[in-house]
Structures are given as structure tokens and as C-alpha cells.
Structure 1
Amino acid sequence: MTSKVISIVLGGGQGSRLAPLTETRSKPAVPIAGKYRLVDIPISNCLHSGIDRIYVLTQFNSASLNKHIKNTYHFSTFSTAFVDILAAEQTPKSSGWYQGTADAVRQSLHHLAVHEFDYVLILSGDQLYQMNFDEMINQHIEKNAEISIATIPVDADDVPGFGILKTNSDNLITSFIEKPKSGFESWASEVSDEMKEQGRVYLASMGIYLFNRKLLYDLLETTDVTDFGKEIIPQSLSGHKVLSYQYEGYWTDIGTIPSFFEANLGLTDNIPKFNLFDKNHIFTRARMLPPTKISATMVEQSIIADGCIINATLIKHSLIGIRTRIGVDTTIENCYVMGSDSYQTLEQLADAKEKGIPFMGIGDGCKIKNALIDKNTCIGDNVCINCGDKLPDGDFPTHTVTDGIVIIKKRAVIPAGTVI
């Protein structure tokens, strides 16, 4: 049935909750796991599910995302498959930016109209999960649903952060409440015994929607609503058959710095909740990088990507991204180092040394803890980052502090001997 489906990945808005990672890139372009981008997650889920016609909608800082999509997703000349960017554009019918998730899809409908499809799968670009959409699509068709919403059971502590849905015995959604703070005990739905044992009896919307083509066009072309979660879904419950597809696997919304940091470091667990080594691997840009070279370094519970040159003393519970250089006598603990987009040439290294500028990467004798180091940063020798008491939140020229996590900004230069 996936041949009848076309998918739309929502790139999100300005992504201010992920700042400073989104100062120069859109949310879907943020690097994860040392070698991928966030947008690779929903696209990979689609491709593994047989859905190979995919649009990615963006409007903020889309240049790096455009480049990644162009360099990554290539298909046979004789195939109808594609992954294309749809950036916000002025048209005779619309002269403004996307005003919300529903408005973004509305402004893109004329691009979809040239294709044959019966269903539209709408996905978020900032979530980490592995899902076979075949099951959701088959249930949608078998139950003659008009809209299906992927839901995940959550416990009472998580309820205030989600839109909560109430279902009946046929998995039809009967009511919706947006991020209730209290008095939601009656909103419990029927879930599996395993979920009941964990106290996860409330169904939260995952922001994954499957629409019948005709209904989606009718809803968007006859109204001026701008958001799916806050308007389209609640307003559709009374007049349309809206089905819950209950998902019980790993899923997390990584729209904030703490959740992003935790999700990435969670990949280093012995048995991670998100399995990078599953047969349904993540697709990303193919790079012809050399293998990583490690000298006299103790590595504990860490992931190290391709093309690194590491002479550190200790790397513990950390994720080291592509082309990272780490000097001698350096310790890295509880960090995500994103790496670099290129190597410095011998001439560039000589010039940096002459000018007293740190090399790209992390120098000698550094101690770095609880840090998120963005790409192409130059950290000098004997730098100490986050090695003392918890730092207060704040934004500075070279770094930001959020919930005790130090984020070194992209292309920041941290001079030798600096203490943060």
C-alpha cells in the first residue's frame, strides 16, 4: 500500500529551543550520533517502509539542509522515488511565511497535486524513533479511517508535555486535550498489559498523521486553520473517523538542548533504546573518510565516528563525531563532540600555529565534561570546560549554558588556558 502514500516531513520553525545549534541551520539539519542529521530519521523510516516519495518542508536556515538532501538521497534515473526540499515561497495565492504545520502543508499542496496518491503521511523532523509505517497504513485502510494519529502511552508525569487523546474500544479517538496540567485522570485509555505495569496509560500524540488525500485537501482548502495538533485534529473528531495507531517502541521528541543531549549520549548505552545497529539502519550522506586512529587512549562506553585522530588520555560516556582531532593528555567525559566538516591542510595548520590560533578540534591537556561541542570549533591547549560546580544558564560569544550543559558554538575559537 505504500505505493499509494506520499510523505511530508515538517522542518519546524525557528527552532529557538535548540539554540545555539539552530543559529545557522534548521532543526532537521542538526547533526546527531556523530555522523547523521535529524532529518535522516524520518526519511530512513519512510524508505525502510517502502515510502520513497518524500517532501521536506523548511523555511528557516535551510541552506545546509538543502545541501545535505542534495548530496544524500539519490535514486535510479528510472525510479519515481525522490526526497525534495520545499522551502517557503511566495505564490499568487500566498505571499507570507508558513504560519504553522497545517499552513505549511496547505501552501505545498500544489506541488503534491502532480503525483498519484491516496494517502499523505505527515511527519516531524525533530524526533528519534524507528517505526514501520506499513502497520499504521494497513490499520488505517482496514478500519476505513479518514485520519490516523500515531500515539504513544505515557505516564502521569509526562502528560503535561503532550496533547492527550482518549480512545474507545475500537481505537477511535473520541476526544483531545492539549497539555493538561491537572485533573486528567479520566483520560486514561486502553493500553497493553506491559504499558499498564509501567503506569503508561495515557495516549500522547506523536505528531505523526496519516490523512486520506481528499479529506486533507478539503480541510486545508476550505478553512484558514494553521496547525494540525491544536486545530485540525481536535476539530475533526466529531465529524470524521479518526483512529489511534498505538506505538510502544522507543520515541523521543528532541526539540530542546537537554533532550537532544540525553538522546545522543543514550546511544552509548550497552543496550541503547535506539538501536543504531539494527537492520533498518539510518541512511545518510556517504563520505569517503579514512578510519579513525586512536593512540594510547582509554575509551569507555563511547561511540567514535569515522576519520578521527585521537591521542586523548580518556574518553568516557561520550560521542565523538566525524573528523574530530583530540590532543594528548586530554579527558572527555559525558560529551557530544560533533566533529568537523573538513580537515585543515598542512599549510593551514602551519599558518594557525604561527598566528597562535588553536587547531580545529580539541588541543592537549584539556578537561571537558558535560559539554556539547558544535562543528568546526577550535579549542586550544589546557582548556577546562564545565569541570566545577554547575554553571548558571547564560549566553556568551563563544558558548551557551543550558541546564548545566555547556554548548560550544559552531566555529568558536577557545584560546589556550581558557576556563569555562
Structure 2
Amino acid sequence: MKTKKKNVIAIILGGGQGSRLFPLTARRSKPAVPIGGKYRLVDIPISNCINSDIYKMFVLTQFNSASLNAHIKNTYNFGFFSNSFVDILAAEQTPDNPTWFQGTADAVRQCMPHFLNHEFDYALILSGDQLYQMDFNEMIEAHIEAEADITIATLPVNDKDAPEFGILKTNSESCIESFIEKPAKELLPDWTSEVSDEMKSQGKHYLASMGIYIFNRKLLIELMSDTETKDFGKEIIPQAVGSKKLLSYQYEGYWTDIGNIDSFFEANIGLTDDIPQFNLFDNDNRIYTRPRLLSPSKFHNTLVERSLISEGCIIHSKEITKSVIGNRSRIGEGTVIQHSYVMGNDLYQSIEDIRENIENNIPLIGIGERCFIHNAIVDKNCRIGNDVYIKGGKHLQDIVTELYCVKEGIVVIRKGAIIPNGFTVK
């Protein structure tokens, strides 16, 4: 049974410019990037908090935050008679802080006056660009029981993945004795920690920081008084090893960092698996998002296999296989969608708009007729004409154009792009 933790605030870090997720972040911040057809990335940490009975949340943002602000405002309203909230804290210049956020710790430091307006004993610091389901109560209880100063959520990883993370070494009581940022592979034999037998059987002997932290209020205030430290992973945590009691809380469930186009794409396509690692159909771990009053999706002569179809779609396509289709998607006759993420549209075109577009040879919002789209991401509100052929894959070189980008073989059609009839990427 979950225990309410009224003395915890959650601080969700929105990240910086999000250049590795470009072009999805060209007009929006990372936490606002659509995922799973109907959600935004920020819905994941917020939902984990709500499912863990944590109802006081701050989201720290700096770049392209307008759509994120609108999403949170339209989604998370806990009522007039509740102390619960999800507040956006955008970077602001003040007499004491004339600069923008310089790192994760600096973002928390600059927002401390807002946090201190609330009573809390523990601060839970989360990332806004990760996909996972975790009961934070268990982590908080472990932190309290161990009388730790800082608790870090850790994930067992193998020797292939370890050099991409901050790696921790723990003692028999799960206390962190040393830390190294992105170790070279030849150093790994000295950085094994005790993990479960199941993790050992998978070759996962190293504990990676997940970028999820619990700080005691007093220590957080103390650490944030040092204006020289800018980042948790690179400075705060390594400097605290040996001088503070750091606890490792091992998490063995599904977790992925949505840091680049490749990981974002695979996380979305992974949702179409028969038994996906990230479960959208869990009564106890619901993913919350903006409720939309959309009609059911409509199909006409379409074969759909292992795909997620969101609300309000009008689909006449020939085939949709292992793909995620977002809200209000319109897909024309004879079109084939394979291994792709179509984000959908923010609105429907009126009959008058459709007639005018047809008269002027302008593609309609959505995907036209007789198209073939494979290994691609189609961002929101795109107009893709008829007979368009897009086949992503490792045979394609990375490229950035006004209409689309290619990253790691994935073709990303940019938000609002107008793709003419017969356009080809192959």
C-alpha cells in the first residue's frame, strides 16, 4: 500500500536546447515532444509522481517553452480546494541571477526561492526526458530508513553501455563509495557493484546513475549556496562522495533516456511490441495527459498490424504495420506506413479549406494517397502529398534540409513541412 508523502516536492528538469533531438526540438522544448501518439515526454515523470502520491511538482524550462506551458496548463488542474500543483519555472533574469541556467544544479539553484516558499523535507529531482515507470515511495522510504543525505536511483548496465553513464561503486550496504563519469572500457573491471542474480545473468555488473536524486532539504540548501557548481552529475554528486552519505537505490525495470532521435524512435516503436517493456495498459501506473474530446478513429479498407492508433484519426491507408499513429492523423487511400511514428495533427481542416487546397494544388494536412513511408518520424501538422516515397535506413547519410532531416537512418519530416507530390527519399 502506498504511503502519502506530503513532505516531498518534485523538481523536473526540462533540459537545455535539446540539440540531439533536433529537429523535434526546433520549435518546442524536450519535455513537450510528443510520445506514444497522444502523450508528451513531461507526462512520464509527472505521472510517476502522481502514481506515487507526490502532488507538488515544478518543471524547470528554458528553451521553446510556450507549447509546454500550454500543455501543462490545459492538463494538470487539481481543483480549487487542493494544494496540489504542477508549476512551470522558466529561466528568468533577476538582480541576483543575471544569466540563464548554466546546468542542472544551476537551474535548481536559481529556482530555490520558489521551492522554499513550500514546506518540504525531501526534494525529488527528476529528468524530463526519460521513459520509465517507478514508485518513488519505495525510493523515498529507502532514503529515510538509511538516513541518507542523498539517494541516487541506479540501473544495472552491461560493459557495452557503462561507458555512456556515470558509474557508481557501492559497498555491502548499498552506500556509494566512488563515482566516475563515463569511464573508459579498460577501467570497468574495477567498477563492479553487487547486483541481483538476475542482473548478473544478463551481464549487468555496473551501476549507472539514472539522473534521479533525493536530497534532504537542509543539504540541498547548503549545496545550492555554492555558486561555482553547475551540474549534478558532473560536480555535485562526485564532490559529495566521501563527505556525505550517498545511497544507491537499485531499479531493475525498463528505463531509457530519450536523449537522441535514435533512442526516441526505438522507444516509440517499442510500444507496438506484443508485450512492450513500457506498459501503457497498467491500471496501477497510468500515464496522464491532456484529455481531448475527440471522436473515435475511423478506418476504411486498412490492414493494421502491431500498431498504436490514437483518437480522432481518419485512415484510408492500405497498411499500417508496427507504427504509432498520433491524434487526428489523416492518411489517404493506398498508402503504406511501416515501422514509423506519425505524430498527427493539432486540428482538422474544414471542408472549405480542403476545397481551397485542392483547387490550388496544396497538399492537405496529413498524408496523401499511394504513399510509402518506412523508418520515419512525421512531426505534427505536416502536409504530405500523393505518391510520396520515404524509405529510411542505414543506407542514408545524415542530412539536414528545410523539409526533413536524416539521423542514424531515421527520416524525420519537420513540423509543418509541405512535401510535394512524388517527393522521394530513399
| TM-score of the alignment, normalized to the shorter chain, above 0.5 | yes
| Residues 375 and 393 in structure 2, CA contact (< 8 A), matched pair in contact too | no
Q: How many residues align?
A: 420
Q: Quick one: percent identity of the two aligned structures? A: 62
The aligned counterpart of 1:108 is: 111
Of 197, 203, 218, which aligns to 1:199? 203
SS at the partner of 1:352?
A: helix
| Residues 367 and 387 in structure 1, CA contact (< 8 A), matched pair in contact too | no
Of 143, 148, 155, which aligns to 1:145? 148
Residues 121-149 of structure 1: per-residue CA shift (max 9 Å, x gap): 00000000000000000000011001000
TM score, norm. by length of structure 2: 0.98
Distance in 1 (alpha carbons) for counterparts of 2:235 and 2:404: 38
The aligned counterpart of 1:25 is: 28
Distance in 1 (alpha carbons) for counterparts of 2:402 and 2:85: 40
Residues 254-306 of structure 1: per-residue CA shift (max 9 Å, x gap): 11000000000000000000000011110000000000001111111101000
1:217 and 2:221 matched: yes
Of 267, 272, 289, which aligns to 1:268? 272
Q: Shift of the alpha carbon at 1:222?
A: 3.2
The aligned counterpart of 1:338 is: 343
1:410 and 2:397 matched: no
The aligned counterpart of 2:368 is: 363
Structure 1 outlier segments of 4+, above 3 Å: none
TM score, norm. by length of structure 1: 0.99
The aligned counterpart of 2:90 is: 87
CA RMSD in angstroms comes to 0.9
Residues 58-89 of structure 1: per-residue CA shift (max 9 Å, x gap): 00000000000000000121111000100000
- Structure 2, unpaired ranges of 5+: none
Residues 215-253 of structure 1: per-residue CA shift (max 9 Å, x gap): 000011134200000000000011110000000000000
The aligned counterpart of 2:194 is: 190
Instruction: Kindly provide the amino acid, as one letter, of the partner of residue 336 in structure 1.
Output: Y
| Residues 394 and 409 in structure 2, CA contact (< 8 A), matched pair in contact too | no
SS at the partner of 2:27?
A: coil
Distance in 1 (alpha carbons) for counterparts of 2:97 and 2:392: 51
The aligned counterpart of 2:314 is: 309
Distance in 1 (alpha carbons) for counterparts of 2:401 and 2:160: 33
The aligned counterpart of 1:166 is: 169
Instruction: Kindly provide the amino acid, as one letter, of the partner of residue 137 in structure 1.
Output: I
1:35-74 aligned at under 5 Å gives the runs 35-74=38-77
Q: Shift of the alpha carbon at 1:386?
A: 1.4
Instruction: Kindly provide the amino acid, as one letter, of the partner of residue 230 in structure 1.
Output: K
1:400 and 2:405 matched: yes
1:3 and 2:6 matched: yes
Distance in 1 (alpha carbons) for counterparts of 2:48 and 2:375: 30
Residues 367-391 of structure 1: per-residue CA shift (max 9 Å, x gap): 1100000000000000001168721
The aligned counterpart of 1:296 is: 301
Distance in 2 (alpha carbons) for counterparts of 1:387 and 1:96: 41
Distance in 2 (alpha carbons) for counterparts of 1:414 and 1:398: 7
Distance in 1 (alpha carbons) for counterparts of 2:394 and 2:118: 57
The aligned counterpart of 1:253 is: 257
1:333–1:240 CA distance, 2 compared to 1 (3 A): same
SS at the partner of 1:8?
A: strand
Distance in 2 (alpha carbons) for counterparts of 1:223 and 1:68: 32
Distance in 1 (alpha carbons) for counterparts of 2:407 and 2:393: 15
Distance in 2 (alpha carbons) for counterparts of 1:47 and 1:368: 37
- Structure 1, unpaired ranges of 5+: none
